[in-house]
Structure 1
């Protein structure tokens, strides 16, 4: 046996041994997770027990990234542990996660990134349907888009919070890569029309003007729907993501055609319970102020005075004539932090209404 073959044989034996150790450790972790579930159920007989703890999982994933010894990147190591935790949590009962469908959308990709692949993802036709699915208890959590780095806020999501009792339990950011794709059976035909969602067309406008000028652009309800149509129609192409391409067996004519390489969409995780502090949190509120001079200053000044950083502020039309302004605000920290409680109490005294949408861990992955 040559030196090379001998060394490779030794390394493969070592890998086999390590695999056995990894398997035993994962099994031990799963058994421990099962015992946690049994302890919770015994302590709360006959009650709905929440096995998923967003703040706990965020703490674990942060620790994994901080303590990762390499050579795998910290982000990749955290993704591996995300899937281990997802599989362990599913041992008792897989979670049902509602998302803005259909199958193959970026929202589904965000749901799987946040919860792992051991959940049951449930596509819903509209954002309000996602809210209703979670409110009714048919889904444990929901995933909805809230803002894109190029196109701004998703107003329908913000408006739903005005009437919904649901809380924000988490966030996830997803880098959005758009591809121009066609069905393999129509690959040699001239493209006369392109299907996509209106936001995707907006995010790829410059590329389309340069490379597909004059080709008809047809707006559909989602990028997955665009891929489905293009898969069935000669002379058609779609702009969609990797999941849609894989789902409908499409070939890519051009990859990553978005105009901005940092194109990112932020998604919110919505649920029925409040989330405890994780140590690195964000909070969201809705505030309606009286229509008077200095109302916006009166709202923002306490945050500035107490040194609380605002990460987002948006104005939305009032759903009723009693609200002159409705402000959606994100700020750093947890609502139970002493300074945040002080600021919110001060705002509550002056506002027509203050609605606490929730505090949740800042996205780790």
Structure 2
């Protein structure tokens, strides 16, 4: 290991169907990020099968860890702490990464850190870019208004610092990513549906169909996408989806309805809470139109926008390692007896 390089942590992520490992320095620099995807395996089922996911985690976990350390140029004895996602997620999947990290920590007599998957997403817009790290410690996370938008979660958080999170609003039914996948399934599009809708929407008319924007009254920061999903369902018997133009129009109109709600509520919440920075993370933040609309609205509002790079927007261990670094620097350490929690909350 280079004498000038800060200490390193090894982080593991197995909350769902991605087996991931990453080496991150205490300066917040990602030295490696390896992800073994199971998308092709689960596509045949139209969604993630927990038992299949956990079995595949077991098969590739060691190899992914070895690849992460090899890519980073770090040997196992050089790792100063081990971290793993402890929730939320599929319990059978969480156990694989958590158990592996605990075993490595125990064998090496090193600290273990149980990390909230949502905290990984939450902090990921501030991940250090290659070459930006200075010194041995990561730069502090600035106060900001955060939107986490993924397949399982849609929530607004007022962030005062690491571990200081106040819930501003969350979905009352489907998460935005879940709504994308369910509507895609209605339309006969392949799993995962979000990227396919995004692709088709670029060729469609955003105003072709008037879909509802729910709970848009001033001061309401909750989300609901079930009515929008139902509106699409009621439209289907009236249109011809075999026509590519019609399909593209439905995708564009549906996508615009979701994004308008997400952007407007987030910007309004930032103003109300006096935040001049917005952070957007989660798998849905890869959506091209979402990134475009946030860029436009934040520029107009004079708000700094921090978007997680697409590489780190979907499930990965680099974001877990980055969150672990910030926790580690505060002296945080988890007991080896700590259990995974499929319903782990980010607040309270």
The TM-score, its normalising length taken from structure 2, stands at: 0.30
Larger Rg: 1
Higher relative contact order (CA 8 A, sep 6+): 2
Q: Name the structure with the higher strand share.
A: 1
